[in-house]
Amino acid sequence: MKKTSLYLLLLLTVELIAQNNSFSPGEIWKDTDGIHINAHGGGILFDRGIYYWYGEHKGTSNNAQVGITVYSSNDLYNWKNEGVALAVSKNPNSEIVTGSVMERPKVIYNAKTKEYVMWFHLELKGQGYAAARTAVATSSSPLGPFVYLKSYRPNKETWPLNYNEKWKKAPKDGEPQKWWSEKWYKAVKEGLFVRRDFVEGQMSRDMTIYVDDNGKAYHIHSSEENQTLHISELTDDYLGFTGKWARIDPGGQNEAPAIFKKDGTYYMITSGLTGWDPNAARSFKANSILGPWTPLGNPAKGKDSNLTFYSQSTFILPIQGKKDAFIFMADRWTPKTPIDGRYIWLPIKFKEGKPVIEWEKRWKINQFFK
Ligand code: DGJ
């Protein structure tokens, strides 16, 4: 064999060995350049045969210094860094200026407008988590660059569908002032914060987007001081809210919503509310996306399931070309060194009509899904 052919063969072998052919949850996950993937709180879009993974770029702090990254793959194991999909702005007057907080980006494609639409949780620079806004950007390509449009608190001056007429007004003896008291918990369930934010718009923190089979898109987010999830229908161009919305598990303290549909039933997996620290996941099901949603308990089973294997949900990925094949995607946060955060991807199984997630040290798609 000629020297050059031998060299090429060697290169090919090295390349093949370097490729991933399984998932190793919690380990360093190298992209095709050999660098740990930097796409936290992520979500995935499947478009024209390619998966795109969007996520938060993290450095040494949680504040956005770079923006939202995008990676591409055709096998879900190997990801190519495609750069920054939505960059932070250098303009101090921009809402997405360097140092703002940009979390949990989700991208969907709108066939009518032919635009890729990115929604994400935005916190304005220097305000901690007080702004509680949802933000939207668009692009004509899945790789970006996305152009930032606006951010706001949704559902201004509209009441939820599943809301008692009586809760539109404060109770006769006034709103409870002391947080975490029995009276306060009851008032939260009965719309304390919905009333408070009626004029300004409802808070929107941890979020996801779901596109149903009929093309209608929904925005699901933690609202009411993270005490209650809201689900809202988006307009046909996916750029705004129609005003049709519902509350899920009032007072239940759910974060990190992720949603999927199987055999006509909607399932949702969420986390509890403990900041960056892991807690036990929860699950729900519904026949209609706007609810009612029935709680199904912690889908995680086995060792460390009470902490969801030290992770928090971010997205549920349907595997293309396979029936009922869903991957639970979660983040193992490392708030002291955010860039080092790990990805926990696990197969979703079904037992007695409920989603079940069990730990796998290393796994392949074909092991679980036909
Ligand atoms: C938990 C959320 O799920 C994360 O996305 C992030 O907002 C942290 N809280 C901030 O403490």
pLDDT tens digits, one per residue of 131-188: 999 999 999 999 999 999 999 999 999 999 999 999 999 999 899 999 999 999 999 9
pLDDT score, position 189? 97
pLDDT score, position 2? 67
Cβ–ligand 1 distance for 115 under 6 Å, the answer no
Cβ–ligand 1 distance for 224 under 6 Å, the answer no
350 burial type by CB count under 10 A (0-12 exposed, 13-18 middle, 19+ buried): middle
Q: Is 350 within the bounds of a domain?
A: yes
**Cα-to-centroid distance, 205 and ligand 1 (Å):** 8
Sheet containing strand 228-234, strands side by side? 207-211, 217-223, 228-234, 241-248
In percent, the amount of the chain with pLDDT more than 90 equals: 94
Residue 57's nearest CA partner among 43, 42, 44, 45 is 42
d(Cα 204, Cα 43) in Å, to the nearest integer?
17
**Cα-to-centroid distance, 103 and ligand 1 (Å):** 8
User: pTM of the entire structure?
Assistant: 0.95
Q: Is 109 within the bounds of a domain?
A: no
**Cα-to-centroid distance, 104 and ligand 1 (Å):** 9
Six token digits for residue 59: 């450095």
Q: Is 303 within the bounds of a domain?
A: yes
pLDDT score, position 356? 98
> How many domains, in total, are found in the chain?
1
pLDDT score, position 17? 56
Task: Write the pLDDT tens digit of every residue in 71-110.
Answer: 999 999 999 999 999 999 999 999 999 999 999 999 999 9
Q: In the chain, which stretches have pLDDT less than 70?
A: 1-4, 6-18
312 CA closest ligand 1 atom index: 3
Q: Which residue has the tokens 């808070």?
A: 203
Cβ–ligand 1 distance for 335 under 6 Å, the answer no
pLDDT score, position 190? 97
Cβ–ligand 1 distance for 256 under 6 Å, the answer yes
Q: Which residue CA neighbors atom 9 of ligand 1 most closely?
A: 275
pLDDT score, position 327? 98
Give the residue numbers spanning the domain of 351.
260-287+296-370
Q: Is 238 within the bounds of a domain?
A: no
Q: Is 334 within the bounds of a domain?
A: yes
255 CA closest ligand 1 atom index: 3
pLDDT score, position 9? 65
Q: Is 88 within the bounds of a domain?
A: no
Q: Is 64 within the bounds of a domain?
A: no
Cβ–ligand 1 distance for 126 under 6 Å, the answer no
